[in-house]
Amino acid sequence: MSEQTQQFASDNYSGICPEAWAAMAQANHGHERAYGDDQWTARAADHFRALFETDCEVFFAFNGTAANSLALSSLCQSYHSVICSETAHVETDECGAPEFFSNGSKLLIARTEAGKLTPASIREIALKRQDIHYPKPRVVTLTQATEVGSVYRPEEIKAISATCKELGLNLHMDGARFANACAFLGCSPAELTWKAGVDVLCFGGTKNGMAVGDAILFFNRDLAVDFDYRCKQAGQLASKMRFLSAPWVGLLEGGAWLKHAGHANHCAQLLSALVKDIPGVELMFPVEANGVFLQMSEQALEVLRIKGWRFYTFIGSGGARFMCSWDTEEERVRELAGDIRAAMEG
Least distance (Å) from ligand PLP to the CB of residue 13?
12
Least distance (Å) from ligand PLP to the CB of residue 39?
26
**For ligand PLP, the closer CB: 61 or 278:** 61
Residues numbered 205-234 forming contacts with ligand PLP, rule: CB under 6 A: 206-207
Near ligand PLP by CB under 6 A: residue from 43, 80, 89, 172:
89
Least distance (Å) from ligand PLP to the CB of residue 144?
9
Residues numbered 118-177 forming contacts with ligand PLP, rule: CB under 6 A: 143, 147, 174, 176
C-alpha span between 72 and 105 (Å, rounded): 9
- Contact of 193 with 201, CB cutoff 8 Å: yes
Task: Based on the shown chain and the rule CB under 6 A, indicate whether residue 91 belongs to the binding site for ligand PLP.
Answer: no
Instruction: Tell me the residue nearest to ligand PLP as measured from the CB.
Output: 64
**Residue (of 115, 236, 260) closest to 174 by Cα position:** 115
**Residue (of 218, 310, 209) closest to 251 by Cα position:** 209
**For ligand PLP, the closer CB: 38 or 147:** 147
- Total number of residues binding ligand PLP (CB under 6 A)? 10
DSSP H helices, 147-226, are: 154-167, 178-185
**Residue (of 119, 112, 121, 110) closest to 149 by Cα position:** 112
CB atoms closer than 10 angstroms to residue 342: 14
Q: Which helix (H) or strand (E) holds 165?
A: helix 154-167
Least distance (Å) from ligand PLP to the CB of residue 68?
6
Radius of gyration of the chain (CA): 20
Q: Any idea what DSSP says for residue 340?
A: H
Q: Which helix (H) or strand (E) holds 41?
A: helix 39-51
**For ligand PLP, the closer CB: 95 or 120:** 95
Name residue 200's beta-bridge partners: 172, 218
Least distance (Å) from ligand PLP to the CB of residue 245?
17
**For ligand PLP, the closer CB: 80 or 207:** 207
Sign, CA dihedral 153-159-165-170, equals negative
**For ligand PLP, the closer CB: 88 or 340:** 88
**For ligand PLP, the closer CB: 195 or 321:** 321
DSSP 116-167: B--HHHHHHHHTT--STTSPEEEEEEEESS-TTS----HHHHHHHHHHHHHH
Least distance (Å) from ligand PLP to the CB of residue 147?
5
Least distance (Å) from ligand PLP to the CB of residue 183?
16
**For ligand PLP, the closer CB: 141 or 272:** 141
C-alpha span between 100 and 11 (Å, rounded): 27
- Contact of 51 with 189, CB cutoff 8 Å: yes
Residues numbered 34-73 forming contacts with ligand PLP, rule: CB under 6 A: 63-65
**For ligand PLP, the closer CB: 121 or 143:** 143
Give the binding site for ligand PLP (CB under 6 A). 63-65, 89, 143, 147, 174, 176, 206-207
